[in-house]
Amino acid sequence: MPCFKVIKYKGFTDERGWTDPIKGKEFYEKNRDIKAEDPKELVTYSAEYCFNAEEAFSLEGDNKFNKVIIAEQLAAIRLHKNAPEVETGHLSFVYKNKVHTKENINGYSW
């Protein structure tokens, strides 16, 4: 849902909670104009207060992993040599009647 369709600020919604999308879009466009001096800040603001799906996911890059949490974990591993223990082995599917189709997957074995 575009951010300009739901604004909680006084003066943008009526007694039913409906937001005029034209007034809402004007509000956010003014804020974007202010942020335009810093491109990084504008991209972040546009992702947080998005008009469409492309803006919403503009900070995610090519994957859906949380980059901040991954960076923190990597730093902890490198700095403190505090890596989780890794168990190695072989994971495979268990099939019904030994018929190897997706529909016949009955579980997994380690």
Structure tokens at 97: 């009647």
Q: What is the rounded distance in angstroms from the CA atom of residue 17 to the CA atom of residue 95?
A: 54
Question: pLDDT averaged over consecutive 10-residue blocks of the chain (110 residues)?
Answer: 82 85 90 85 86 79 67 73 78 89 90
Q: Express each pLDDT in 74-87 by its tens digit.
A: 677 767 777 777 78
Residue ranges of alpha helices (H) inside the chain are 21-35, 39-48, 53-56, 67-80
pTM (two decimals):
0.50
